[in-house]
Structure 1
Amino acid sequence: MMLNEKQKRLKELLEKNINSTERIGTAIAITGSWGVGKTYFWNKFLEEVTKKEIKDKKDFYYEASRVDYKSVFDCRKYAYISLFGIENLSDLKNAICTKLTLNPYAKIDSNKWEFSQLFKNTVSQFKDMKVSQYGVSASAKILESLLFLQVKDAIICFDDFERMSNKLDIKDVMGLANQLKLEKNCQVILILDESKTEDKNKEKYAEYKEKLIDETIKITSVEPLIRENAKDIDGKLVDLMVEFAEKLEIHNFRFFQKVIKLYKQFLEQLPEQVAYSTKEIILVRILQGYLIEDYGQSLNVGWNNFTTEKAMEILEQTNDDDLNKVTHNLFNKLNNIHYKFTGSSDGWFIQFKNWFEQKDQSNRDILYSLANSELISERFELLKERKKKLWNEFWNNQIGGDFPKKLYESTVPLISVENIENLDFTCTILNKLGAVELANELSDKIYQWIDKELKEDQLSFIDNFASWKRSKNNFYEYIDKYQEEHLYEGLPSLLETVHQYTINNGWSPKHIRSLEIASKNDWKELLFEKIPNDERFQYVNSNLIASKMIKQSMKPELNQDIKKMIIKIYEEKGQESEFYKNYMNYLIARLDD
């Protein structure tokens, strides 16, 4: 049943009951998973049907028609009750009394009379007074009972069953709901996630459900919430989010709240005129990032799975392993939603991966530059689409003899934005198809590009293209060899790195790299020679610096190795004499202080 059909069904049920002469109410349960938008569905429904009644009444030409018009919703009394924080039946009744008012979505009609809110609140506070000699407590209970008498012919909505206090028994709630339905001619709405209700309460709810609930309306889609909160986002992109939610069965709007918020934050940093393709790839990468962050463990996927080669392996696998089946099904769904989820690991992919892993503090600046670069120009987008079409033809057995040349020509202009695995895979396919000369030409151009980038900024290139390599290939071997031969080029010394971190409280990717490659001898020289003789460290001592560096936050995963090296250095020094042995053992003991 579609959402509008559910709204129509709910309207029919309530109207039929309210207009009935039997004077017996109804109870309707609105159920669905946590975060799917059950409360939103109810509030939106009540607002829309109420405002339509008011509009219909205004549209009548004759006053007599307005008088004769039988309102169903706009004239009803209404109370919305959150069960969160209510601890007993008396408080629940009191909450209904104090919150019962004319339909909040209807315009205030001065001809309609009700207890004032001030009076109801006063009685609510008065009930807690206890002066037994004069019977104040008893009188307050009488007043509370009198106030409860007004609760009739009303719509009462109970929400937050999942957050209900364990002091409040669900059988009391259901019993009261039954009383409101049968004795007070009320229309009772219960909003709950049946699967999340506490075990004992779940049993009791199931027991009362058959006796109390007349109809259940299940909400299964977050589409209305997505559309409501993404009104200022391109319609096609909203459709993409809705399709993502439906096909992946993500029924928690809080997931999409994060997606929409982050998408808007990034969009604010871009120029006013941004190509649709840019907006699209930003949204795809944000959806991808939060999918990995929130569901990666259960779905057995991470960033490393999302390259063309890896994606194709997953899409083609026939392994009977349950975990592999889950991943295979996920990639099939993602590929059907948008090919860029599984068939494109461009600059956006790399930067968003870094952003989600918080590798670089200036990622937003990088993304801004990226959005204004040639990388996302229409020319590149056309080239990418052309290459995508070629791969689709390849995997669907539709290629001809000119495929190698077309693949080569579509890949060369994209060398600087492609993932190295994808470039290597393209070379492999050209070789497999017998186009050895084209494969060699493409390979030479890739080497030229890598060489140029390494010479311009070794660290930046490695961080963007080779810091998370997943397979062995000649291009990675070339990069590794270059790193080995130019290990210290452009890098600060370990002394400069430690000074920047401990004294200046700052660092850069180059300092992290310097820390990564520092040897035991580098640390020994630092602690015993350089720090003691550098006036910049005059107010700190070598052992204090050592204590700070084994807890550094530039790259915490290095800390255990750094600590082991420093302890080894101290132990070796301790072998010189008994004195140094005791001295070094003392320094080792102080490292964790």
Structure 2
Amino acid sequence: MEKSNQERLKKYLVGNEKSYLKTDISNGKVIMLSGKWGSGKTFFWKNLIATDELKKELSDKNSAYSYVSLYGKSSIEEIENDIFAQIYFSAIGGDNLVTKTFSTFTKYSKRYGNLFSSFDFSKLAEGLENEQKDNKERIALERLKNGAIICFDDFERKSKDIDLNDLFGFITNLTIEFDCKVVIILNDDVFEGEEKKIFSNVKEKSVSKFLKYEPSIKELFETIFNSDEQYRKLDDHKEIILNTIEETEELNARIYIQVLDNLVEWIENKQEIDKNILRCLILVNIYFILYHTIFCKLEKNYSIKEFNDKLKVISNNFDSRTVITSRNQAKFYESFDDYLNNFEKRVYNDNQVSENREFIKDNKKYYKSKFYANKLDISKDVDDKTFQKINNFIETGILI
């Protein structure tokens, strides 16, 4: 059986002692792990690649691992300090920190004498601080030069104060000066405008290996489902959960985690459970995350709570599941865009084309949410009372 994209990447990067990140062949290289937003790149990296086992192997080789999120960083210096601090403290450990501090204290006590009654402790504190800084830099530098792995994440959330050219220059210098391995995790289309041009230019000069992370819905779901012991409470319902997520065609790790967490809470509170209720809860949860919408069930379809739809006379009676063809036959819409095109044709007229077009544009997410709610019939075979209970739970976050 052919391996999935995720399995191939894992084997390539850390599968055995000859894998890319475990040998010197990747020293001094910049590796880019890219994929679509929400596809679980960070989850994959932290849970399947940068495991405790890999970190221990690096430590045993007097090397180190550092994970740096660029979120909240406003300067190259901040990033540099984060890397050095992580590598330093991973080297000395918690207990060793006390020992080294005491050792340094003893050394400075001898240097300044033992007459503590007249000793200027401010000088000791200053000396201790400088000594620790020197030790920190020396230990970090040694470990960096010994095949350390540094991972940079959240590129799309970096501060505007950090120039992209400077950032890549810093990353490149890390690999040149310290011969370490650098992994960059980012979305496919993370930059726009001028930064997009800069990124396109510098990545060709800086990146040695491009890796594409593109899991299937099932693959991403399985990875997350198996990552947390609390999800074992959902084992009996795994198939319906996966099938429902596949109905939505959403590939998003954060959404899967939130859905699974809410399902665990629902079950732990001994709520009524069957496949239709679970399916409804999952769909309501997903579309609330995506569009922040909650639905009311009408006689024939669903409307959005607290959405003042000026076109509701048409939209509430316009079937978002099927379209009547020229041969007077009903067929399913192939996409939301197909549906929207037909909907627009129904609401435009000579006097209100501009006004209606602007209204639809401003409220596109609501119509998109409404389209999927009706297309999938989100509360199918679920009674109104249970549907309302699910809506309340998802909207408020509290199960009453």
Task: State the TM bucket, normalised to the shorter chain.
Answer: 0.5 to 0.7
Q: CA distance change for structure 1 residues 326 and 357 in 2, over 3 Å: closer, same or farther?
A: farther
Q: Deviations over 1:250-294 (max 9, x none)?
A: 1222322332233223223327xx7xxx34222201122124434
- For 2:8, the equivalent position in structure 1 comes to 5
Residue of structure 2 equivalent to 1:228: 227
| Corresponding residue SS for 2:251 | coil
Q: What is the CA-CA distance between 1:192 and the residue it aligns to?
A: 1.6
Judged with a 3 Å threshold, the aligned counterparts in structure 2 of structure 1 residues 265 and 147 are, in CA distance, closer, same or farther, namely closer
| 1:15 is aligned to 2:15 | no
Matches within 5 A, 1:397-408: none
Higher relative contact order (CA 8 A, sep 6+): 2
252-261 or 5-14, which deviates more: 5-14
Query: CA 1:262–1:45 in 2, change beyond 3 Å: closer, same or farther?
Result: closer
Does residue 1:208 correspond to 2:202, yes or no? yes
Separation of aligned partners in 1, 2:177 and 2:394: 63
Q: Which residue of 2 aligns with 1:154?
A: 148
* Alignment correspondent of 2:255: 255
2:317 counterpart of 1:317: no
Contact 2:27–2:175 at 8 Å: present in 1 too? yes
Q: Could you say what secondary structure the match of 2:73 adopts?
A: coil
TM normalised by structure 1 equals 0.42
Partner of 2:85: 98
Aligned twin of 1:382:
none
SS in 1 for 2:19: helix
Per-residue displacement from partner, 1:420-465 (whole Å, max 9, x unpaired)? xxxxxxxxxxxxxxxxxxxxxxxxxxxxxxxxxxxxxxxxxxxxxx
1:31-54 CA distance string (max 9 Å, x none) = 223333222211222455826x98
What is the aligned partner in structure 1 of residue 45 from structure 2? Answer: 42
Unaligned 5+ segments in structure 1 are 55-70, 120-137, 366-593
- The superposition leaves residues 461-482 of structure 1 with CA deviations (integer Å, 9 ceiling, x where unpaired) of xxxxxxxxxxxxxxxxxxxxxx
Q: What is the match of residue 73 of structure 2?
A: 86
Question: Secondary structure at 1:156's aligned position in 2?
Answer: strand
Note if contact 2:154-2:185 (Cα within 8 Å) is conserved in structure 1. Answer: yes
TM-score by length of 2: 0.60
Amino acid at match of 2:264: K
Structure 1 counterpart of 2:356: none
1:172-215 deviation digits (Å, cap 9, x = unpaired): 22222212223322111112223234644433322221222222
Aligned to 2:189: 195
Deviation string, structure 1 residues 490-531 (Cα, Å, up to 9, x no partner): xxxxxxxxxxxxxxxxxxxxxxxxxxxxxxxxxxxxxxxxxx
* 8 A Cα contact 2:320 2:333, kept in partner: no
Partner amino acid for 1:19?
A: T
| Conservation of the 8 A alpha-carbon contact between 1:15 and 1:72 | no
Measured in 2, the distance between the counterparts of 1:95 and 1:360 equals 38
Indicate conservation of the 8 Å contact 1:94/1:144, yes or no.
no
| Aligned position for 2:350 | none
Q: Per the alignment, do residues 7 and 103 of structure 1 end up closer, same or farther by CA in structure 2, a change over 3 Å counting?
A: farther
Measured on the aligned residues, the alpha-carbon RMSD in Å equals: 5.2
| Separation in structure 2 between the aligned mates of residue 116 and residue 3 of structure 1, nearest angstrom | 43
Aligned to 1:281: 276
Task: Quote the Cα distance in structure 1 between the aligned partners of 2:138 and 2:150.
Answer: 18
Partner of 1:345: 380
Aligned-partner Cα distance in 2 for 1:205–1:86: 19
Alpha carbons 2:11, 2:19 under 8 Å: kept: no
Instruction: Confirm or deny: 8 A CA contact 1:83 1:164 kept in the other structure.
Output: yes
CA distance in 2, matches of 1:356, 1:258: 15
Change (3 A) 1:342 1:319: closer
| Alpha-carbon distance between aligned partners in 1 of 2:198 and 2:227, rounded to the nearest angstrom | 35
Following superposition of structure 1 onto structure 2, how do residues 159-170 of structure 1 map, counting pairs within 5 Å?
Answer: 159-170=153-164
Q: Is the Cα–Cα contact under 8 Å of residues 33 and 185 in structure 2 kept in the other structure?
A: yes
**What is the count of residue pairs matched by the alignment?**
315
Runs of at least 5 residues in structure 2 that lack an aligned partner in the other structure: 103-129, 303-318, 325-329, 343-367
Contact persistence 2:68–2:82 (CA under 8 A): yes
Structure 1 range deviating more: 250-259 or 281-290: 250-259
Partner in structure 2 of residue 535 of structure 1: none
**Distance of 1:97 and 1:82 partners within structure 2:** 14
Contact 2:28 2:181 (C-alpha < 8 Å) held by counterparts: yes
Distance in 1 (alpha carbons) for counterparts of 2:136 and 2:90: 22
Shift in alpha-carbon separation, 1:184–1:217, aligned structure 2, 3 A: same
Pick aligned residue for 1:26 from 17, 26, 29: 29
Tell me the CA shift for residue 155 of structure 1: 0.7
CA distance in 1, matches of 2:320, 2:247: 18
- DSSP-derived class of the 1:195 partner: coil
Cα deviation for residue 147 of structure 1 reads: 6.2
Give the corresponding residue for 1:184.
178
Decide whether the 8 Å contact of 1:30 with 1:219 is kept in 2: yes
For 2:280 and 2:337, locate their aligned partners in 1 and report how far apart those are by CA, in whole Å: 27
Amino acid at match of 1:5: R
Indicate conservation of the 8 Å contact 2:84/2:137, yes or no: no
CA contact 1:162–1:196 (8 Å) conserved in 2: yes
**Shift of residue 242, structure 1, vs aligned partner:** 3.3
